[in-house]
Structure 1
Amino acid sequence: MTLGGTAPVDPGLPLPVLVTGLLREQAGASSATVRLLAPDTPAEESRRLGESLVAEADGLLVLADGTNCSGERSPRPPDERAAPLDEQLRTALAEVDVDRLRALDPRLCAELGVDGRAALQVLPGVVAAGGGTWRGELLYSATPHGVTYHVATWTRQD
């Protein structure tokens, strides 16, 4: 697996980089560029990055996690605030609801293990810069082993 070229990907890289390399290879793309955001990246900085990415890329893959404290098998102790936050994420991704993504509270996300909050907040910038009408499709949303994962696609319609 590589991100492009011939150098193999170091298995010690962050998980989003490894997933990008795997998907790049499966899609047959010649290369993939990865941008990692720190969990504490401010929402406004994430939005600006999203705006800049529209001009640079033919497509965009945003990797982010849901809560990791949703049950007894979770890596963190269960927290009753996890279900409403995961529902906010699920709805935002299914409905291309950029307002719900902008409203993600950095502190709450940190407390509930949503380390990808900053990556999710790139999406409002993408939609704003991309213009047009967008359609979302939630492909998967579940909580295996106490960690919630959502998979969705967003497509510009015009």
Structure 2
Amino acid sequence: MLVAAAVCPCPPLLIPEVAAGAAAELDAARAACFDAVAVLAAARPDRLLLVGAADPAESGGYPAGSRGSLRGFGVALDVTLGRGEPTERALPPSLTVGAWLLERTRWQAAEVAALALAEAADPTDCLAGGRALAKEDGRLALLVLGDGSACRSAKAPGAFDDRAEPFDQAVATALATADTGALAGLDPVLARQLHAAGRPGWQLLAGAAEGGDLAGRLLYDEAPYGVGYLVASWS
């Protein structure tokens, strides 16, 4: 049973050591992420699953003890997912940021694992995966990591697209109201065109929360650097 969920963006710039002198620009987003993780802990789950998008070769499950590195972003910083035996398979960037959030908030509320979804994952598969997770025994919490569109301004990574803001607004409204139907109905083709990497994770969340009674709360909704960053908590 899904008892709580948090949705957070996952740009490496969220980590102050990576952002360096620009770290203050994401102070509000960072604080909102910490608040969302605190909601997960307060729900007293039996297990926490991090969900993030990745390249197809990186998709699949990652157990506690998996490690991620920020060295590719010029920072000598490594993180570990929960407590467990180290594994050779490195966390993809989205889950590395998630593991950092847990380390920074000193997560101890439940056992941890992670799941990487291919950015092109079929919505039907994402929804079915979420439903299957919710049927497992115990109290489940999800930390869903993914950015909105990357086309909100001319200097955005994906260049400007006038469809980007309405797309992000629709996602923000769905997250604020825990509208699983709206998330389930997101167009994967449009999401891919707008470089919205959070789409697979949001749809897995929709499947896991389907038929539940969780209430949503939007904690952050901005587009610094032309990328939609959304933070929400469901409990």
TM interval, shorter chain, is 0.7 to 0.9
Larger % of strand: which?
A: 2
| Counterpart secondary structure, 1:67 | coil
Q: CA deviation at 1:132?
A: 3.6
Establish whether residue 143 from structure 1 lines up as the match of residue 223 from structure 2. Answer: yes
The share of aligned pairs that are identical, in percent, is 36
State the TM-score, normalized to the length of structure 1.
0.86
Q: Deviations over 1:17-49 (max 9, x none)?
A: 112211232233375211011111111110111
Establish whether residue 70 from structure 1 lines up as the match of residue 148 from structure 2. Answer: no
State the TM-score, normalized to the length of structure 2.
0.59
Aligned mates of 2:107, 2:147 — CA distance in 1: 25
Establish whether residue 92 from structure 1 lines up as the match of residue 171 from structure 2. Answer: no
Q: CA deviation at 1:15?
A: 1.9
| Counterpart secondary structure, 2:197 | coil
Aligned mates of 1:135, 1:9 — CA distance in 2: 38
Summarize the Cα distance change of 1:27–1:9 in structure 2 as closer, same or farther, 3 Å threshold.
Answer: farther
| Counterpart secondary structure, 2:218 | strand
- CA RMSD in angstroms, aligned pairs only: 2.1
Amino acid at match of 2:217: E
Please give the residue correspondences for 1:6-25 in structure 2 after superposition, counting only pairs within 5 Å: 7=86, 13-25=91-103
Establish whether residue 52 from structure 1 lines up as the match of residue 129 from structure 2. Answer: no
Matched-pair contact (CA < 8 Å) for 1:20–1:34: no
| Counterpart secondary structure, 1:33 | strand
Aligned mates of 1:69, 1:127 — CA distance in 2: 29
Q: CA deviation at 1:9?
A: 9.3
Divergent runs of 4+, >4 A: none
Amino acid at match of 2:158: R
| Counterpart secondary structure, 1:134 | coil
Amino acid at match of 2:199: R
Structure 2: segments with no counterpart, 5+ residues:
1-78
Amino acid at match of 2:230: H
Match in the other structure for 1:109: 191
Structure 1: segments with no counterpart, 5+ residues:
none
